[in-house]
Amino acid sequence: MLDPVREPGRSSDVSAPTSPIEAGRMISEHFDTRTRINMKLALDRICRNRAVGEDHAFRKSVAENIIRCALTGRTGIGQLVDAGERAVVTTRAARKPV
């Protein structure tokens, strides 16, 4: 789930979207074209050539980490890919039995 983000000049919080349409709207309102392209490229790089790369839950986990990274202002392709890789490590660790 995304953390709420407070924008300067807005009195209300922007919270996690509840539908795919709201998610798309949130992303297009918060990020410029270059950032959105970098976010998509990062998601594609992380998911390509992975056995679970097409799994919805996996992609969602990676995408959420990429969005959180971009919301902090780290929007370079390398930074976004690193954020996506961290999600992979976290997801893999959560799946492994102790």
The whole model's pTM is what? 0.71
| Residue 89 within a domain | yes
Domain tally for the chain?
1
The amino acid present at 50, given as its one-letter code, is: R
| Residue 1 within a domain | no
Answer whether residue 10 shows pLDDT above 60: no
The number of CA neighbours under 13 Å toward the Cβ of 80 is 22
In the predicted model, what is the mean pLDDT of residues 44-53? 91
Quote the domain boundaries for residue 42.
20-95
Burial class (CB in 10 A: 0-12, 13-18, 19+), 89: exposed
| Residue 27 within a domain | yes
Q: What is the model's pLDDT at position 95? A: 66
What CA–CA distance (Å, rounded) separates 88 from 28? 25
